[in-house]
Amino acid sequence: MKKFLSLALVLSMAFCVFALAGCSGSEGTTAEKVDPNKNIYADLEGFDSFVPAGSDIVATWKMTSPDTDKEWQFFANTTLHQTTITNGVSRSTICTYNYDGEGTLKVYGLSQSFEDEYTVTIVNNILTLKAKDNSTLTFEKK
């Protein structure tokens, strides 16, 4: 938990939050893993059609944790299968997330030295990142 809170503090101090890098969800009560054969970033916006390689998908989510209610934009590169987190103003890269197609995000910090893995689920438009120690961070789709 301490590691997770430390990571969250670093990210909030750098004006960023976690990004979704490829999960599909449903409007029902259960989360679904993304089909690795589908375009994972198109799923973020709810598109069913393929988005050409190299396109940027932009989605806005709102952090629902107690320390902030700021909104952030996530820019996903469909060629690299990476997502860049920005604060919507400076567009500076804070972290990069590589999605393995199985429901796990590998987190690589660019502004601080850290690396971790999180399980990603979406239920009723609530994005949840769960760390290995079972601590969670949630986001609500705007």
pLDDT in tens, 42-97: 333 332 233 334 444 444 444 444 444 444 444 444 344 444 444 333 333 334 44
pTM score: 0.33
Tally of structural domains, the chain: 1
The reported pLDDT for the residue numbered 98 is 45
Confidence of residue 134 (pLDDT cuts 50, 70, 90): confident
Query: Which residues does 14 contact at the CB level (< 8 Å), separation at least 6?
Result: 94, 111, 112
Terminal-to-terminal C-alpha distance of the chain: 27
Length of the chain: 142
Which domain does 120 fall in, by range? 2-141
